[in-house]
Amino acid sequence: MLREVWHSLVRVTSFIGKELREVIRRPGVLASLVLGPFFIMLLFGIGYTGARSPFRTEIVVPQGSQLPRDQEFYEDLAPGRIEVVGISDSQDATENRLRGQQIDLMVVAPENAAAQLREGNQTEILVAWNQVDPVYDGLAHLAVATMVAELNAEIIRQAAAEGITLAEGELGPQVTDISPEVVAKPTTAVTENVAPSDPTVTNFFAPAVLALVLQHLGVTLTALSMVRERLSGQMDLFRVAPVNSMEVLVGKYVAYGLLTLLVGGIVGALMVFVLNVPIFSGYVIAIGIVLLLAFASLGVGLLISLVADSERQAVQLSMLVLLASVFFSGFVLPVQDFIGAVQYVAYALPVTHGIATLQEAMLRGEVRSLWMIGALAAIGVALYLLSLVRLRRILRSAS
């Protein structure tokens, strides 16, 4: 019994040593498949600011309008969202510039909004834009809503000021206790973000990048390892030798797990010590999540390597996993934005749980979505068992 255990340990370590040597001696593969996407993501992290360019806006103020004609007034209506590039009194000329994409937004101010308000009529403010990008279309709606609210307040303020002046003449100065600004904007918001970390782009995306790099590394490395052995006849050696599928799998899990954790450790250290990303949960919880994510990711890679018919197919499947991860994992778009059925796809990816739990752990200090930790472990165990069954079948298949 003890001899069997010892021999088993020897066999497992033989795979660990062999896999590590092979990876180290194929730096080209490591560079193109692993470091390539990593550097692309790093470039994205460094280069992406999250700030959108303000809409180039031209305001049309008709001749009879009492609204101001200075650019600053209008820019203050939606700070950072619009850049007033001109004030015009010709709607046709401005519209031509909009169609020619010389400007992004056209706002036509009402001619006599305050008078219309006094008469109990609603005034239309025409806002037009020329966008095919749905994101910018949405942002334009948001900018317009903010701007119109501010403009409404300005109109109310003007009307209130006129009303107060009239009332002072009739009733005396005591009515001036309420300023036109208060009438126009009876409430103002005092804002506070109670999250324990600053919501910066770097802080928010760093755990996601770490999770994505870990999964991609684990999947890609392992996806290639077994498919080579299956196609080049080494499986026949394993079939004849006194080695079982569990020893082969454990050896590969440990070898690639070590490599994945090494790269993950380097990326994590860069984030914490260079980019100053906080780890409010402490290292133990974060490392625990990383271990689970690596375990599940290696399972994805091993399963790919056991079903792929060629190295090319293994690489293609790995890239498909990466693509699915970028779209559905919450890395770019929140998982909750997808319909229910697609959310199941998202939650089938280890990285979805890795991103959410790492962000919670690192940026909030606690993992509230504990079910995700369980899901990550369950995915890892399920993939291990699937790989084990598949490899056992391959080693036994004397078809």
Task: List the beta bridge partners of residue 27.
Answer: none
Letter for the amino acid at 249? Answer: L
DSSP, collapsed to helix, strand or coil, labels residue 329 as coil
User: Which residue number, 189 or 240, has a Cβ lying nearer to another protein?
Assistant: 240
User: Which residue number, 239 or 368, has a Cβ lying nearer to another protein?
Assistant: 239
Q: Rounded to the nearest 5°, which phi and psi values hold at 299?
A: -65, -40
What is the nearest approach in angstroms of another protein to the Cβ of residue 393? 13
What is the nearest approach in angstroms of another protein to the Cβ of residue 373? 36
User: Which residue number, 18 or 56, has a Cβ lying nearer to another protein?
Assistant: 18
What is the nearest approach in angstroms of another protein to the Cβ of residue 228? 9
What is the nearest approach in angstroms of another protein to the Cβ of residue 294? 23
Q: Give the length of the chain.
A: 399
**Cβ atoms within 10 Å, residue 15:** 21
What is the nearest approach in angstroms of another protein to the Cβ of residue 216? 22
Q: C-alpha distances in angstroms, 188 versus 79, 141, 154, 182?
A: 16, 22, 15, 9
Can you give the C-alpha Rg of the chain in angstroms?
Answer: 31
Q: C-alpha distances in angstroms, 231 versus 112, 236, 244, 352, 383?
A: 80, 10, 19, 32, 22
* Alpha-carbon gap, residue 374 to 138, rounded angstroms: 37
In eight-state DSSP terms, residue 233 is T
What is the nearest approach in angstroms of another protein to the Cβ of residue 22? 5
Instruction: Characterize the bridge pairing of strands 105-108 and 126-129.
Output: antiparallel
Query: Given the structure tokens 């999964």, which residue do they identify?
Result: 215
Letter for the amino acid at 231? Answer: L
What is the nearest approach in angstroms of another protein to the Cβ of residue 243? 5
Both structure tokens of 115: 């008078």
* Alpha-carbon gap, residue 227 to 50, rounded angstroms: 40
Both structure tokens of 256: 């690639």
User: Which residue number, 17 or 199, has a Cβ lying nearer to another protein?
Assistant: 17
User: Which residue number, 3 or 100, has a Cβ lying nearer to another protein?
Assistant: 3
User: Which residue number, 235 or 322, has a Cβ lying nearer to another protein?
Assistant: 235
Letter for the amino acid at 195? Answer: A
Residues in contact with another protein by CB under 8 A are: 4, 6-7, 10-11, 13-14, 17-18, 21-22, 25-26, 232-234, 236-243, 398-399
User: Which residue number, 135 or 398, has a Cβ lying nearer to another protein?
Assistant: 398
Q: Rounded to the nearest 5°, which phi and psi values hold at 61?
A: -110, 105
What is the nearest approach in angstroms of another protein to the Cβ of residue 27? 11
Of 116, 118, 124, whose CA–CA distance to 161 is shortest?
A: 118
Both structure tokens of 257: 């797990």
Query: Given the structure tokens 């009303």, which residue do they identify?
Result: 163
Buried b (16+ CB within 10 A) or exposed e, 171-181: eeeeeeeeebe
What is the nearest approach in angstroms of another protein to the Cβ of residue 241? 4
User: Which residue number, 246 or 345, has a Cβ lying nearer to another protein?
Assistant: 246
User: Which residue number, 11 or 157, has a Cβ lying nearer to another protein?
Assistant: 11
User: Which residue number, 242 or 265, has a Cβ lying nearer to another protein?
Assistant: 242
What is the nearest approach in angstroms of another protein to the Cβ of residue 219? 21
